[in-house]
Amino acid sequence: MKKFVNDPVMFVDEMLEGILEAHPDQLSHCADNKRNIVRVPRADKVGLVTGGGSGHLPLFMGYVGEGLLDGCAVGGVFQSPSADQIYEITKHVDAGKGVLYIYGNYSGDIMNFEMAGEMAAMDDIETAHIVGNDDVASAPTGEEHKRRGVAGIFFIYKAAGAAAERGASFEEVRRIAEKAKANVRTMGVALSPCIIPEVGKASFSIEDGEMEIGMGIHGEPGIMRSKLAPADEVVDHMMERILADIQLEEQDEVAVLVNGLGATAKEELYIVYRRIAHVLKERRVSVFHVYVGEFATSMEMTGFSISVCKVDEELKDLLRQNARTPFFEQAKF
């Protein structure tokens, strides 16, 4: 196991200690639990809370901060946080304007966020759920409700976060989050697995020189395993699937996110983007903005995902706003 760890059982808690120690001016925790990450100072606005398993940094807690989210319930590696954690965070961030839950489409997360929402209701805190399901590889068109949430959730965070920051109402922030969700599609490819520290070995195996298109960020099976193809071919295949699903027309505008899964060099992510730009130009689709980097990882997995988010003037305006967390900064543009 080529990892820098101490006791693997302490992986998540030591990581959190490091994060809280490094960024005390931006992040804190609530209810005496370092797995309940909250933004400092608290903001007087619609609350935005996320949560999910560890091992995906900057997902999920990396988006807690100015112009983005207010709190994040952190689970064990690839494990859901508890309903209690989510409930404690909900109470902490609530400013009497409602709290919107934004998380990925995984059964454990859904169950715990729903339970937390019921607990919050007893305290008269209004909540609603936005369940990210951008991964087109995980279920066919028409069965979107079965799709996993992956890197595309960034666009939901960014749009809803900017709206909440400028004082939008609960219903308005919810509408915008739904709109971003409806307009984003993602597909991933992996070349190597990651290792869950407590397990100590890879959760699946893949031959050297093989790739798996459509693999999930926990190593869920993809839709095609084959010999590693040249980057352009891989991109063409992925973009074909994404574009078949999102129905773009000429003159449409998109934001693009090329997300490294952990071990893939940034140099390669730009070789990938080069081809994405070609494909979009051929379709006469305009690129509004491009994000390249690690936004949703699977620790040291080799691979990347492409997210395409169709944008209109409202979403463009929200994406342009500034944001600041210890993991993601953006000046207004």
Interatomic CA distance for residues 209 and 191, integer angstroms: 8
Q: Which is nearer to a second copy, 75 or 98 (CB)?
A: 75
* Count of CB atoms situated within 10 Å of the CB of 19: 21
CA atoms within 13 A on the CB side of 295: 25
> By rule CB under 8 A, what string of x and - marks binding of each residue 265-304 to a second copy?
xxxxxxxxxx--x------------x-xxx--x-xx-x-x
Strands (E), the chain: 27-30, 33-39, 47-54, 71-77, 99-104, 127-132, 184-192, 210-213, 224-227, 253-260, 286-293, 302-311, 323-324, 329-330
> By rule CB under 8 A, what string of x and - marks binding of each residue 39-58 to a second copy?
---------------xx-xx
Which residues from 4-33 bind a second copy, rule CB under 8 A? 4-7, 11, 14-19, 21-23, 25
- Do 152 and 309 contact (CB within 8 A), yes or no? yes
Q: Which is nearer to a second copy, 137 or 280 (CB)?
A: 280
Q: Which of 29, 92, 218, 237 is catalytic?
A: 218
Which residues from 96-155 bind a second copy, rule CB under 8 A? none
Q: Which of 29, 56, 92, 237 is catalytic?
A: 56
- Do 183 and 248 contact (CB within 8 A), yes or no? no
Q: Which is nearer to a second copy, 87 or 304 (CB)?
A: 304
> Residue 71 Cβ, how far from a second copy at the closest point, in Å?
19
218 is catalytic: yes
> By rule CB under 8 A, what string of x and - marks binding of each residue 149-188 to a second copy?
----------------------------------------
Upstream peptide bond of 230 is cis (omega within 30 degrees of 0): no
Q: Which is nearer to a second copy, 15 or 164 (CB)?
A: 15
Determine the 3-state secondary structure of 307 from DSSP: strand
Which residues from 55-74 bind a second copy, rule CB under 8 A? 55, 57-58
* Count of CB atoms situated within 10 Å of the CB of 320: 15
145 is catalytic: no
Which residues from 213-252 bind a second copy, rule CB under 8 A? 228, 230-232, 234
Q: Which is nearer to a second copy, 114 or 232 (CB)?
A: 232
Which residues from 304-333 bind a second copy, rule CB under 8 A? 304, 322, 324, 326-327, 329-331, 333
Q: Which is nearer to a second copy, 124 or 282 (CB)?
A: 282
Those residues whose C-beta lies under 8 Å from the C-beta of residue 124, and which sit 6 or more positions away, are none
In degrees rounded to 5, what are phi and psi of residue 161?
Answer: -60, -45
Calculate the CA dihedral of residues 55, 136, 235, 218 and round it to 10 degrees: 20
- Do 282 and 250 contact (CB within 8 A), yes or no? no
Stretch that binds a second copy, among 44-52, 110-118, 214-222, 262-270 (CB under 8 A): 262-270
Q: Which is nearer to a second copy, 170 or 273 (CB)?
A: 273
Spacing of C-alpha 58 from chain mean position: 8
**Which of 251, 308, 325 is CA-nearest to residue 70?**
325
Which residues are known to be catalytic?
56, 218
Residues that bind a second copy (CB under 8 A): 1-7, 11, 14-19, 21-23, 25, 54-55, 57-58, 191-192, 194, 208-209, 228, 230-232, 234, 262-274, 277, 290, 292-294, 297, 299-300, 302, 304, 322, 324, 326-327, 329-331, 333
